[in-house]
Amino acid sequence: MTFWQMFNLSFGFFGVQIAYALQSANISRIFATLGADPHQLSFFWILPPLMGMIVQPLIGKWSDRTWCRLGRRKPYLLVGAIVAVLVMVFLPNAGSLNLSTAYVFLGLNAAMWFGLFSLIFLDTSINVAMQPFKMMVGDMVNEKQKATAYSLQSFLCNAGSFAGYLFPIFFTWIGISNTAPEGVVPDSVIYSFYVGAAILILCVLYTFFKVKEMPPKEYAEFHGIDQEAEAKKEKGDGLFKLLVKAPKTFWTVGLVQFFCWSAFLYMWTYTNGAIARNCWGTTDVASAAYQSAGNWVGVLFAVQAVGSILWALVIPRFRNLKTAYVVSLLLGAVGFASVLFIHDQYVLFLSYFLIGFAWAAMLALPFTLLTNALEGSPYMGSYLGLFNCTICLPQIIAAATGGAVLGLVGGSQASMLLLAGVYLVLGALSVGLVEIKRQN
């Protein structure tokens, strides 16, 4: 494929990632504003990845069998984007519905319940919109170009993250209020979600109309698939059977994913509280200082995105993908560990720049290794959907245990980021178990 063909294939990812960046940088801030205790924050991250574990394998399986006039993966891409846009309009308004002190159930007020269910739908719809981009690269790009295609996708993804992370501080800078009455999300965050939703749908529509997916016969020829033989086996190959027959690469890369995504769940959950305490000296979520720290989280995550963008250009230059993977994760571990010891908001730029190296590798390399191992399989989408469980499951476990672990480290949210660095080191060690399919 030409550069621009690969660019068009992944451009919608730019918009999807803006939505994902707004979610990851602001969810803990939103729920803390709505009244959540720090020990509760990780629990709000359990249901979204749980929904992803259920939905993604189904999207992969269904899209493997969807051959229609609109395409194979593109119908799911469009539906996911539309739902995400609708939810992005409602979620940041959870505190504006006069629900904060009403209908307390299981320790959560009605505003938090509204936000929680909005978050479930947002994360699910973002994943539905995100996954087809990874599948289309697997479908349409040859083995030798896949590392480049996924790195380009990583570049666009991180460019979207950069924009999304900076929206709240940008809107604050132009005069939109960054404070609000207790229990209400500031307008700077609400406007960020509105603009992000508009960009998301425009970018997805660009890819939807620019990309033409292969028809079944051409797809079979491109991947060397015997359509008649596979049609006879199709009924017997359910998701569980496919999981049993998954290549070793699926499981070994999945182990690396376990440590990596646990680490980043801690980052999304605890960065706001960590830097508010370390750099602003506050734990009062209603204070202007805490909301300023919330804006700075977006800046730090934008720095992380810059690191990811630049490192995504470096990754294809490594002669060995495993070496690239290990180096990226170890540098990210240094970034995470350093947060505990830094009390200057600007010095944190270096920490999050290094964390971006790990993020770039996580976006590009697992899918490059897996799709190369699956070359010739008619179940690419099903396996990528199942592989999403290696993203969701560690987040669920980390979220479910986060409150208890936070108690073990004395309630220090910065210490949770040190633990995230340890997880990345374990991930780097696990890369040694991965076998790489040699290109012809």
Q: Which domains does the chain have, with CATH numbers?
A: 3-433 (1.20.1250.20)
pTM beyond 0.85: the answer is no
Distances, alpha carbon 267 to alpha carbons 287, 339, 386, in Å: 22, 10, 24
Residue the block writes with tokens 């320790």? 107
Q: 72: which 2 tokens? A: 């194979």
Q: 401: which 2 tokens? A: 């245990």
What per-residue confidence (pLDDT) applies to 115?
75
How many whole angstroms separate alpha carbon 389 and alpha carbon 210?
30
How many whole angstroms separate alpha carbon 404 and alpha carbon 397?
12
**Inter-axis angle of helices 110-140 and 47-64, nearest 10:** 30
What per-residue confidence (pLDDT) applies to 295?
82
Distances, alpha carbon 62 to alpha carbons 49, 59, 75, in Å: 20, 5, 11
Backbone angles phi, psi at 69, to 5 degrees: -60, -30
What per-residue confidence (pLDDT) applies to 357?
94
Reduced to 3 states (helix: H, G, I; strand: E, B; else coil), residue 105 is strand
How many whole angstroms separate alpha carbon 397 and alpha carbon 102?
30
Reduced to 3 states (helix: H, G, I; strand: E, B; else coil), residue 181 is coil
Q: Specify the length of the chain in residues.
A: 440
Alpha-carbon radius of gyration of the chain: 21
**Helix (H), strand (E) at residue 241:** helix 239-244
How many whole angstroms separate alpha carbon 195 and alpha carbon 167?
9
- Cα 48 to chain centroid distance, Å, stands at 11
What per-residue confidence (pLDDT) applies to 422?
95
Burial of 375 (0-12, 13-18, 19+ CB in 10 A): middle
What per-residue confidence (pLDDT) applies to 229?
53
Reduced to 3 states (helix: H, G, I; strand: E, B; else coil), residue 250 is helix
What per-residue confidence (pLDDT) applies to 236?
47
SS3 percent helix, strand, coil of the chain, rounded to 5, is 80, 0, 20
Q: 383-417 in b/e burial notation, b at 16+ Cβ within 10 A?
A: bbbbbbbbbbbbbbbbbeebbeebeeeeebbbbbb
How many whole angstroms separate alpha carbon 352 and alpha carbon 300?
6
Residue the block writes with tokens 């797809």? 219
Q: What is the DSSP letter of 102?
A: S
What per-residue confidence (pLDDT) applies to 305?
84
Q: 408: which 2 tokens? A: 């073990």
Burial of 47 (0-12, 13-18, 19+ CB in 10 A): middle
- Residues facing residue 359 across a β-bridge: none
Tens-of-pLDDT digits for all 440 residues of the chain?
A: 888 988 998 899 899 989 888 887 777 777 777 776 666 666 766 777 777 777 777 777 788 777 778 888 888 889 989 999 998 888 887 766 665 555 655 566 677 777 777 888 888 888 788 878 878 887 888 878 877 887 788 788 878 888 888 898 899 889 998 877 777 788 888 899 999 999 999 999 999 999 888 887 887 787 776 655 555 455 545 667 777 777 788 889 889 999 999 999 999 888 988 898 889 888 777 788 887 888 888 889 889 888 988 888 888 788 888 899 999 999 999 999 999 999 999 999 999 999 999 998 998 788 778 877 776 666 666 777 778 788 888 988 988 888 888 888 888 888 999 999 999 999 999 998 887 765 44
How many whole angstroms separate alpha carbon 84 and alpha carbon 119?
10
Contact assessment for residue 43 and residue 400, using Cβ atoms and an 8 Å cutoff: yes
Angle, vertex CA 77, rays to CA 71 and CA 78, nearest 5: 90
Sign of the Cα torsion 216, 218, 224, 228 reads positive
Contact assessment for residue 382 and residue 58, using Cβ atoms and an 8 Å cutoff: no
